[in-house]
């Protein structure tokens, strides 16, 4: 593997934490993701389901985990199933994990091949009355694709109709939202790789380069530093497309006088980073561009200070809205009449800043976390305000990744990635 795996004590702790939240005489089952086809015999690169990775550290297809929380025998409380390597697989795909290596990576003692899964599932199911199933209940989830987990759940409920069903996702939403220090170090490593990519493109960008060439500079640096690549589809948006929030075509030529908004992040060990920087194609901001840029930067800096224990997502966004409102008034984009006419549902600042300021970050770029919960130590959030001005043909967004701490200011994992306008200009013109 490209990355250094975490110690299996973390996965042992994660499983114990999950089982501590299970109720009654129950078992929980978790499945790997499918390998998704493109067409003909082509497939997308495998991406492990982040829940089973959180619980085992196993990064291989067809893996299954059973947690039998009410078992009195440690050997049957945790059951891991992996794909067997046969001679055909070894020749065409290479060796799969052995039982010993899977046990070493995960800390699970009882490791089987997937052929044994249904027999062991049936044996345990006769002793429990509740199945914990793992549906995707993330607040952003909206996929028409039936996953391997979905197919399994349908089969399980039909096969065992007398069993009760409970949900794993609400437990995982809370457990995964608070990071272990070693997990934060994985995110920090991803941020450091992102920094290397950004420093590379700062010296590469000039008038008439193409957006996809900038994307190529990033991916070169990411892969060269032990990353699989982008943590999410990169946004390299120049000119008027600064104002398109999810622009991913990356196919335009960058013109003198325009800005480039780059929302990119490297992954490392399945953990995400998430960075946005907006820089001038020519290496120099215009007076107006710099004025708006510095407003966005002030909002980001003030918003970061609000990521404190005891605050919550809804209140945080309202507070950031007040900060943004003041900056937009200074810029002359809104006035007292706009403030007078605004409503709670449609505040004046939303005309120029229409998206949220933060989201959880971790194994997913938009990671698990229940929005109604209070902020806690070692939650990791992005901070990403923006001001979008289609009539002026540019927009600016800035984004860093921040860890909430119990004492003192939040820790900015991207504090050493250039962001001040003068520093950006200096590097681009050095």
Question: Using DSSP, how many helices (H) and how many strands (E) does the chain show?
Answer: 14, 18
Q: How far apart are CA 22 and CA 15, in angstroms?
A: 11
User: Distance of alpha carbon 309 from its chain centroid, rounded?
Assistant: 21
- Which two tokens mark 186? 């994985």
Q: What is the CA radius of gyration of the chain?
A: 24
Residue tagged 């001001």 (tokens): 387
Beta-bridge mates of residue 387: 396
Beta-carbon contacts of residue 143 (< 8 Å; ≥ 6 apart): 136
Sequential pLDDT tens for the chain (430 residues): 899 999 999 999 999 999 999 999 999 999 999 999 999 989 999 999 999 999 999 999 999 999 999 998 888 999 999 999 888 888 888 999 999 999 999 999 999 999 999 999 999 999 999 999 999 999 888 888 899 999 999 999 999 999 999 999 999 999 999 999 999 999 999 999 999 999 999 999 999 999 999 999 999 999 999 999 999 999 999 999 999 999 999 999 999 999 999 999 999 999 999 999 999 999 999 999 999 999 999 999 999 999 999 999 999 999 999 999 999 999 999 999 999 999 988 999 999 999 999 999 999 999 999 999 999 999 999 999 999 999 999 999 999 999 999 998 999 999 999 999 999 999 999 9
Determine phi and psi for 115, rounding to 5 degrees.
-60, -25
Please give the pLDDT value at position 156. 98
Q: How far apart are CA 401 and CA 304, in angstroms?
A: 9
Question: Comparing C-alpha atoms, which of 423, 419, 398 is closest to residue 320?
Answer: 398
Spatial contact of 105 and 58, defined as CB atoms under 8 Å apart: yes
Spatial contact of 404 and 178, defined as CB atoms under 8 Å apart: no
- Which two tokens mark 260? 């480039």
Q: How far apart are CA 369 and CA 175, in angstroms?
A: 8
Q: How far apart are CA 68 and CA 76, in angstroms?
A: 7
Spatial contact of 7 and 104, defined as CB atoms under 8 Å apart: no
Q: How far apart are CA 226 and CA 186, in angstroms?
A: 12
Please give the pLDDT value at position 24. 93
Dump strand ranges (E) for 247-385.
259-264, 267-268, 271-272, 275-280, 380-383
Please give the pLDDT value at position 162. 96
Torsion of CA 390, 232, 146, 24, to 10 degrees: -110
Dump strand ranges (E) for 11-163.
26-31, 37-39, 42-43, 64-68, 78-82, 110-113, 130-133
Judged by DSSP in three states, 284 sits in coil
Please give the pLDDT value at position 411. 98
**Hey, CA dihedral for 153, 158, 159, 164, is it positive or negative?**
positive
Q: How many residues are recorded in the chain?
A: 430
- Which two tokens mark 110? 């009882």
Residue tagged 């709670």 (tokens): 344
Q: How far apart are CA 336 and CA 385, in angstroms?
A: 22
Q: How far apart are CA 110 and CA 78, in angstroms?
A: 7
Domains of the chain: 8-177 (3.40.350.10), 181-428 (3.90.230.10)
Q: In angstroms, what CA-CA distances link 60 with 31, 64, 71, 100?
A: 11, 10, 27, 15
């Amino acid at each position: 593997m490209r990355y250094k795996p975490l110690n299996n004590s973390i996965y042992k702790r994660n499983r114990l934490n999950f089982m501590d939240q299970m109720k009654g005489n129950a078992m929980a089952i978790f499945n790997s993701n499918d390998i998704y086809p493109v067409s003909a015999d082509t497939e997308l690169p495998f991406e492990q389901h982040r829940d089973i990775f959180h619980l085992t550290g196993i990064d291989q297809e067809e893996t299954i985990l059973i947690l039998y929380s009410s078992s009195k025998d440690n050997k049957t409380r945790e059951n891991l199933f992996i794909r067997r390597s046969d001679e055909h697989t070894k020749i065409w795909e290479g060796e799969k994990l052995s039982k010993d290596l899977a046990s070493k990576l995960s800390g699970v003692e009882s490791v089987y091949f997937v052929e044994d899964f249904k027999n062991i599932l049936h044996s345990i199911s006769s002793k429990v009355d509740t199945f914990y199933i793992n549906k995707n209940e993330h607040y952003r989830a909206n996929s028409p694709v039936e996953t391997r987990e979905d197919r399994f759940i349908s089969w399980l409920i039909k096969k065992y109709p007398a069993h009760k069903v409970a949900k794993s996702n609400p437990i995982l939403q809370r457990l995964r939202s608070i990071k272990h220090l070693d997990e934060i170090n994985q995110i920090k490593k991803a941020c450091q790789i992102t920094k290397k990519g950004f420093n590379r493109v700062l010296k590469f960008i000039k008038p008439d380069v193409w957006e996809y060439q900038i994307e190529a500079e990033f991916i070169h640096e990411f892969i060269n530093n032990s990353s699989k690549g982008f943590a999410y589809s990169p946004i390299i948006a120049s000119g008027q497309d600064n104002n398109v929030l999810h622009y991913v075509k990356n196919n335009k030529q960058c013109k003198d006088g325009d800005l480039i908004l780059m929302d990119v992040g490297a992954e490392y060990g399945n953990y995400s980073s998430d960075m946005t920087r907006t820089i001038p194609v020519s290496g120099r901001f215009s007076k107006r561009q710099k004025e708006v840029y510095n407003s966005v930067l002030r909002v980001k800096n003030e918003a970061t200070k609000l990521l404190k224990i005891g605050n919550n997502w809804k209140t945080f966004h309202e507070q950031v809205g007040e900060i943004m409102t003041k900056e937009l008034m200074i810029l002359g984009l809104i006035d007292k009449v706009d403030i007078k006419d605004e409503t709670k549902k449609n505040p004046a600042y939303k005309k120029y800043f229409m998206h949220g300021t933060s989201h959880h970050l971790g194994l997913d770029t938009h990671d698990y976390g229940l929005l109604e919960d209070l902020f806690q130590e070692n939650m990791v959030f992005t901070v990403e305000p923006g001001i979008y001005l289609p009539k002026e043909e540019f927009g600016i967004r800035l984004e860093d990744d921040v860890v909430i701490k119990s004492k003192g200011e939040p820790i900015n994992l991207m504090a050493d990635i250039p962001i001040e306008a003068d520093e950006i200009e200096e590097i681009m013109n050095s």
